[in-house]
């Protein structure tokens, strides 16, 4: 049974910016937002240390999801800490962006593990999150992922509205969204805009261009009756002309 737990990278330190090395606490014994506790002494790191990958968002299927590796992972008291090296500057955008988040202390780490349920026990008291969680006393570490946050403000807006978003990630995303600068108002050339408006008015009020009609001699029997419909008459629709002219002006302004 694969489980994941997200931890805020608050105790994180950049060791070497040039090589992308970071030290971080990736797990503690605090009751998490799921109401669970992971005991540090229960971590089994044997298989993990044989292939200590740093993934992005627990993606086990894409070869590009490995954005680095853990140079060390160890238990210190009630915490699990590690030193990661991000593969920065090697053409992997996720690795570069995750390291930028780490430098801003806006990165979260998430441990992927398999708990030994025979050693797990339910917590008997309801915690402050209103959940009766589990106490994990034995668990095998599979990998540790960087849980990244998008940089685009529009993406952030959609991100924080995701109903299944983990509270830790939502907290970081909202903080980054609050830090986004207000968009600057675009400079408007008022004189040029007024000239465009005048040109638009001239187009709308100008009479429609019509082709010269050459009257041909017709026999009396071919003269059209007043009761018959007149075909091929060009009607002037000022509304349609205005819409077309406005669209043309907008396209010209966008192209500049």
CA distance 70 to 80: 12
pLDDT for the residue 237? 64
Rounded CA separation 26/30 (Å): 12
* Region of 232 on the Ramachandran plot (φ > 0 left; ψ -120 to 50 alpha; else beta): left
More confident residue, 147 or 71: 71
Q: Residues 35, 132: contact at Cβ < 8 Å? A: yes
Helices 238-255 + 190-205 axis angle, to 10 = 150
Share of the chain above pLDDT 70, in %: 56
The region that residue 44 occupies, defined by phi over 0 for left and psi between -120 and 50 for alpha, beta otherwise, is beta
Query: Could you tell me how many residues make up the chain?
Result: 256
Instruction: With cut-offs at 50, 70 and 90, classify the pLDDT of residue 203.
Output: low
Residues 6+ apart with CB under 8 A from 196: 249, 252, 253
The secondary structure of residue 218, as a DSSP letter, is -
User: Which tens digits make up the pLDDT trace of 165-193?
Assistant: 566 666 665 665 566 555 455 555 666 76
- Where helices occur in the chain by DSSP H, the ranges are 46-50, 93-103, 153-160, 167-179, 190-205, 238-255
pLDDT at 88 over 70: yes
Whole-angstrom distance, CA of residue 11 vs CA of residue 125: 28
- Nearest CA among 197, 195, 192, 93 for reference residue 148: 93
Residue 157, pLDDT score: 46
Q: How far apart are CA 116 and CA 42, in angstroms?
A: 9
pLDDT digits (tens, 9 = 90+) for 120-138: 998 765 555 555 688 999 9
């Amino acid at each position: 049974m694969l489980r994941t737990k997200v931890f805020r990278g608050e105790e994180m330190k950049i060791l070497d910016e040039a090589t992308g090395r970071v030290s971080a606490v990736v797990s503690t014994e605090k009751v998490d937002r799921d109401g669970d506790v992971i005991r540090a002494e229960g971590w089994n790191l044997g298989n993990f240390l044989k292939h200590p990958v740093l993934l992005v968002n627990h993606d086990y299927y894409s070869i590009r999801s490995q954005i680095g590796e853990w140079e060390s992972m160890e238990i210190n008291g009630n915490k699990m800490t590690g030193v990661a090296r991000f593969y920065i500057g090697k053409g992997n955008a996720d690795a570069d962006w995750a390291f930028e988040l780490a430098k801003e202390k806006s990165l979260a780490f998430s441990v992927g593990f398999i708990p030994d349920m025979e050693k797990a026990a339910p917590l008997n008291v309801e915690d402050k999150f209103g959940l009766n969680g589990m106490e994990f006393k034995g668990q095998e570490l599979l990998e540790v992922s960087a849980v990244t946050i998008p940089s685009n403000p529009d993406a952030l807006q959609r991100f924080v509205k995701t109903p299944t978003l983990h509270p830790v990630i939502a907290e970081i995303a909202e903080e980054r969204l609050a830090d986004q600068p207000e968009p600057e108002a675009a400079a408007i050339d008022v004189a040029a805009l007024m000239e465009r408006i005048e040109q638009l008015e001239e187009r709308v009020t100008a009479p429609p261009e019509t082709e010269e009609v050459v009257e041909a001699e017709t026999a009396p029997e071919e003269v059209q009756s007043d009761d018959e419909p007149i075909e091929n008459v060009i009607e002037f629709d000022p509304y349609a002309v205005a819409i077309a002219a406005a669209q043309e002006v907008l396209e010209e302004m966008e192209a500049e």
